[in-house]
Every structure is written in C-alpha cells, then in structure tokens.
C-alpha cells in the first residue's frame, strides 16, 4: 500500500489483498492552524497541497463530475416552485469555471434560460467549446435581451457575459430584471480566487501575491456587494440559494449582515436524497475508448428499467457531455443500487463487453462522507453540522471494505477550516475478488449516509434503514 501525503509519495508498506493499494491524505491541518494563511505558508514551502475533493483523490472527471448534482438541484427547484420544469424561468448566476461551468447546461437540460457572469472571457469560450454554454454575449444589454426573449418563449438558452458578479448582480437588480432563480459558483471559497471590483484580470495574480491579506479584504467587500444583490432578488420573490462555495460567510466577513438570509442548496433541496444514501456515483473507462461508456450506459438502463429519471439523465449526458480526460460517466444512485451497478460493471469486464477495467468512485460530496457546515451538513436536524467523526469513520470503513484507494481531505469546496471529507475509489477488473470487494464497499459506503442521517433524526433515513436492513445498534 502506497501512502501519499498532500501529493507526495511517502512510503510503501506490506498489507493484504483486501487493503487499498493507495491511501491519501491532503490538506489536513490541526484546528487552530486550519487557516488560509497557514495553509499558504505550508504550500509555498512544499509541505502541503490543496486536494479540493476529487482532484486530490485521483478521480476528477472535469465539469461532468458536478453536472448531475447541479442538474438534480435545478430539477428539485423546478418541482418545488415551477411545476416540474424550468421552462419560462430565468436563472442568474456567476462563475463559469471547471465546476461553475456545469450550471448553464444543468439549467437548459431542465428547460430554463440562464445568464452566467464570469470575469474571464476565455473561461466562457471554453464552456461554449465543451457544449456546456450556448453563447457569449458581446454586452450586458445583449445578454439580457437574449435571456428575456428565451424566457418569454419558454425556450432553453444559456448566455454568458464577461463581467464581475459584484458589479453585474447589483446592476441587474437596479434594472429590475425579472429573475426567477439566483445562485453563484464563483471561487468564493478562496478569496484570492475571487476578483474584487476595481482590479483587472491582468492585475489579479500580481495583486493577490503582493498583498494576500489586503486582496482578501477587498474580495470579501466585493462578495458582500454581490450577496447583498442576491438578497435583493430574494426580497423581490426569486428563489435564491448558496451553492456551497462559502460566499455567504465571506460576505458576512465583508460587512453584510443579511448574508445568511438564503439557504444552502443541500438543506433546501438535496438532503432528502442523502437520507436514502443517494449521491454521486461515477465511473471511468481505463481503455480510453468512449464506446465502453456507451456500453455501461446501456447496461445500467437495463439494470434499472423502471428508473425513468436515470434514463433521462443518461440519455442527456450521452447527447450533451463531452469527455474531459478519460471517458467517464456520473449518475446519482442510492443504497443497494450502487452495489448492483458495481457488480454489473465487473461482469462487463469479465465478459469482455468492455475492453479494459473500469474505475468506480464518487465525489466527496456524498451523504455520509463529509462534515461541512456551510454545505453538505448545513442545518442538520440535531445541530451536528460540524461533527467531523463521520467522514473519518467513512474513510476507516471504506478502507476496511475493499476500496482500491481511499482519501481524507480538508477544506474542499468551501475552503480551509470549513470542511473535512473522505473519498473512495475501486477497480472493477472482472475478477471474483473484485466482485466481493465491490459488493462490500458499495453497500457499506452509502450505508454510512443512511446511518449518519438516522443519527441526526431524519425519519426518511430511519425508514430506509428499516426497509433495507441497515444495522444501527441504537435503533430499536
């Protein structure tokens, strides 16, 4: 088993056939030292690496990795407020990078129109090239005209515009733009990655490097302006939510007192799914052949013939998603179904229906693998938002259940000092041993999500545990 400390291979030890081949720990800091300045000091000296979530876990698959979660979030909003579809609605958001770039396609797949703001034209053009974004407008006026026309015509359309969200959001509020949904996926989790008003993109790196503390304060003031506008849209009747990038906390630090008037996306829309152990399940074709992903898509639809929602997602992904790196797919599956899918993929390898082994993993954003009070564990029913025992137990359990590699990270998604989370990945190589490991691992891992939510007092999680035989000693 290889040990990796913040990206550095530090040792190899003899273990056993069921042990992971790799164990990774990234970005983990002791409480009082879990700050951005201390992290940056260590990073500059080569002592620590920011693992984010899937990147440092060697299972990053590009924008698709967050696409279905974003799609599910907007689908939940459509069910909650708009009769099941976003047709005839307009969404305003910011941030069109590697993760935020999933937003325009997620909205249009749900039938809506979306205006997305980013300071980088290159980022917007990249999303157009990858087919996540329809077009980039020349001006804000042009962008507004396009999305309002699409809204009137109940037509799906995504439009990007170059600008600073801290400037554009207040301007659109001042104009009285008829917006239905407002969110944000700028890199607010790291203030040095959020461009303040008054600083040009060309000056960004130089300013952030020369005076990181001063730059951070400027970024927080700008975030406060953006969040103040988001609350203005909330007051006007829009559906407004935080997409888990800590922008509310940064805005509060920047001086805005109503930053937490709108909720995070997990308590607002996703927690009922977490209670069932539902979460992101991803797989990668080691052959590099996209045809292998097409085989898995078809086989998964045969395995779950009555899951119309899954079928719609797989069809949409096959049509719209361009692979980044090795061919990969993601879908959300729950307790019981993940193990079935893992065994299916192992059979596909054993029978030669795909041309090489398949790697199976997930995001750290899952039902039982993260403690993140501003995102996945915000507003837990029992107040246990910050209890970090759960992701550590998750990593210990997956290590004991046959995973091929397991990771424990700190600070992913929401920034240093705000989260602890774990990931697991396994290889379906077609062998009997792999089948045994996959069944054990892909049962136990989502089972952690069920018991975590049972422990927090969620009735739906209790029902799922009883229905599916999840053993919980303190439950009668």
Q: Catalytic residue positions? A: 331
CB of 430 closer than 8 Å to CB of 350? yes
Residue 63 has a CB neighbour count (10 Å cut-off) of 23
Residues 6+ apart with CB under 8 A from 268: 241
Residues 6+ apart with CB under 8 A from 33: none
Tokens at residue 87, please?
Answer: 């047709």
- How far from each other are the two terminal CA atoms of the chain, in whole angstroms? 39
DSSP 152-221: HTT--EEEEEES-HHHHHHHHHHHT---SEE---SSTTSGGGSPPTT--GGGHHHHHHH-HHHHHHHHHH
Bridge partners (DSSP) listed for residue 283: 329, 360
Cα 204 to Cα 208, 219, 459: the distances in Å are 6, 11, 48
Distance CA 130, CA 333 (A): 26
Bridge partners (DSSP) listed for residue 136: 160
């Amino acid at each position: 088993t290889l040990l990796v400390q913040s990206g550095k291979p530090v040792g190899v030890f003899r273990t056993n056939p069921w042990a992971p081949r790799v164990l990774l720990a990234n970005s983990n800091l002791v409480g009082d030292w879990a700050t951005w300045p201390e992290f940056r000091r260590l990073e500059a000296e080569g002592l620590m690496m920011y693992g984010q979530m899937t990147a440092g876990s060697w299972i990053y698959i590009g924008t698709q990795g967050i696409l279905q979660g974003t799609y599910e979030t907007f689908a939940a909003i459509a069910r909650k407020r708009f009769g099941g579809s976003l047709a005839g609605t307009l969404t305003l958001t910011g941030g069109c990078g590697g993760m935020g770039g999933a937003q325009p396609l997620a909205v249009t797949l749900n039938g809506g129109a979306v205006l997305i703001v980013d300071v980088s034209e290159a980022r917007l053009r990249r999303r157009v090239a990858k087919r996540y974004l329809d077009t980039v407008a020349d001006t804000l006026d042009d962008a507004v005209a396009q999305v309002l026309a699409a809204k009137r015509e109940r037509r799906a359309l995504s439009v990007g515009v170059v600008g600073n969200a801290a400037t554009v959001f207040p301007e659109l509020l001042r104009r009285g733009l008829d917006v239905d949904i407002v969110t944000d996926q700028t890199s607010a989790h790291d203030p040095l990655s959020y461009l303040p008003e008054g600083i040009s993109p060309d000056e960004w790196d130089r300013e952030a490097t020369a005076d990181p503390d001063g730059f951070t304060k400027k970024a927080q003031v700008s975030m406060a302006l953006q969040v103040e506008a988001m609350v203005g849209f909330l007051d006007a009747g829009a559906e407004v939510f935080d997409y888990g990038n800590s922008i509310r906390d940064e805005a509060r630090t920047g001086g805005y007192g109503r930053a937490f008037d709108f909720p995070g996306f997990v308590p607002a829309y996703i927690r009922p799914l977490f209670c069932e152990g539902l979460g992101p399940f991803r797989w990668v074709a080691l052959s590099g052949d996209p045809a292998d992903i097409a085989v898995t898509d078809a086989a998964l639809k045969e395995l779950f013939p009555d899951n119309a929602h899954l079928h719609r997602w797989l069809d949409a992904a096959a049509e719209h998603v361009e692979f980044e790196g090795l061919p990969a797919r993601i879908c959300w599956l729950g307790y019981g179904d993940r193990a079935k899918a893992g065994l299916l993929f192992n059979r596909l390898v054993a029978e030669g229906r795909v041309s090489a082994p398949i790697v199976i993993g997930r995001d750290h954003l899952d039902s039982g693998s993260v403690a993140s009070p501003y995102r996945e564990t915000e507003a837990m029913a029992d107040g246990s938002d910050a209890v970090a025992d759960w992701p550590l137990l998750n990593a210990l359990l997956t290590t004991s259940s046959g995973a091929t590699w397991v990771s424990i990270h700190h600070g992913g998604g929401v920034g240093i000092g705000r989260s602890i989370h774990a990931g697991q990945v396994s290889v379906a190589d077609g062998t009997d041993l792999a089948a045994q490991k996959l069944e054990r691992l892909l049962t136990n891992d989502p089972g952690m999500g069920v018991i975590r939510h049972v422990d927090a007092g969620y009735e739906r999680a209790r029902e799922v545990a009883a229905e599916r035989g999840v053993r919980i000693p303190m439950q009668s």
